[in-house]
Structure 1
Amino acid sequence: MAQQSGLVGRREKAMADKRKRIMDAARSLFAERGMGHVTTQEVSDRADVAIGTLFRYAATKAELLIMVQNEKFRAAIDEGLAASGSLSASDASTEDAVMALLSPVIDCVREQPENGRRYLHELVFGDPVEEHRSAGLAEAWRFEAAIADLLRTLPDVDQATRVTLARVITSIIHVTMTATLHLGDTPGEVTAIVRSQLAAVLRGHERVGS
């Protein structure tokens, strides 16, 4: 039994090592040239694994991108939650608190615009039950729920309305970061565009609540 347990442990360690090598290779290649200019063969070569092994972890190049971006997306949400949480504990405005949450996510997606646009497209239009997309969608729901929670400071706005507003705000982010019109914009410029639209949404509901 102990010998079998040892074999399972070594197998899991080897799988984890291969997954890490694949992730590191895909992350660096996608960052260097953009997902559209990288082949799965190049990823497998840099990771030093057979192409068939790579496909056991991600069946397509799009899934490879989702694997890589999911980790970055998760870290950006965590960073935003920490920043917005600090502001929420102070006298900061709702707009400032929400932007503190959004800004790291905008920076993450716009770090390599081609990769970020494709990632968002794949999450929205891809198969939602595919393992990596499912994980990415779970992070998207976490992000949206965090926005809704920050909107609790709006006067006379109930939970259902906060959920709807959070969906509107995430839609603004998605469109702004994927639209060809904004492809050449810097992360700072995208952040300013999102802030202006967020301010309009929040001012409208503050008037309703007043």
Structure 2
Amino acid sequence: MPLASQPAGRRERNKQQKLDRITAAARELFAERGVDEVTTQEIADKADIGAGTLFLYAKTKGELLLLVQNSTYADALAQGKSEAASLADLLDAVMAILRPVVECNRKQIDNGRTYLREIIFGDPEEPHHRDAIGMTVQTEKAIAEVLQRDERVSADDAATLAHIVSAIMFVSMAATINIAKPVDEIVAEIKDQVRVLLPK
């Protein structure tokens, strides 16, 4: 039997089950009360594991938040890419990618802002942080692919523009001045800025 098709061993299944319980517990508690109001002990208790075991999977609450938010971000990006594929207008297609990302980030605003802070300032050697950075790279790649539909935009220019668009989105989501703004206003703010970047 090829190695890739062999079922996971008991140890691997147990590790995955613990990780799933930790993720579910953290997701539920963070959604209810926000990351700052939840202790790692509460997450461990809800996941029915010891605190020491929890720290084998994530060393800090920030890492736990990355673990939880990364899967939501991945789903949002997949949705955005799918919607963008059918849109001819470049601005509409770029915004189709960005809107679900903004929506998932704003479900619990404090958690979303903490997630962005962890992406920017977190430990790049930590696996959940690497995954989050990978999601931002995938977002920029999706935007660049849309921009390259315009034959006047080179691959290098598309990558640079996508990086700028990503920065605009991050700042708009993280800015304290935008804390109380609903998703539609955040998206409109991003769209107004992205519009001036795109080729006329």
> How does the TM-score come out when normalised to structure 1?
0.89
Q: Distance in 1 between matches of 2:60 and 2:36?
A: 12
2:175 matched to 1:160?
no
What is the 5 A alignment of 1:22-33? Answer: 22-33=22-33
Q: Distance in 1 between matches of 2:81 and 2:9?
A: 35
Q: 1:170, CA displacement in angstroms?
A: 0.3
2:71 matched to 1:71?
yes
Q: 1:155, CA displacement in angstroms?
A: 5.1
Contact 1:111 1:187 in 2 (8 A): no
Amino acid at match of 1:100: A
Q: Percent identity?
A: 44
2:190 matched to 1:189?
no
1:197 alignment partner, SS class: helix
> How does the TM-score come out when normalised to structure 2?
0.93
Unpaired runs of 5+ residues, structure 1, are 1-7
Cα root mean square deviation, aligned: 1.2
The equivalent of 2:62 in structure 1 is 62
Q: Distance in 2 between matches of 1:21 and 1:146?
A: 31
Unpaired runs of 5+ residues, structure 2, are 1-7
What is the 5 A alignment of 1:19-168? Answer: 19-87=19-87, 92-154=88-150, 156-168=152-164
Aligned residue pairs: how many? 193
Q: Distance in 2 between matches of 1:156 and 1:188?
A: 31
Q: Which structure's CA Rg is the greater one?
A: 1
Q: Distance in 2 between matches of 1:183 and 1:154?
A: 35
2:9 alignment partner, SS class: helix
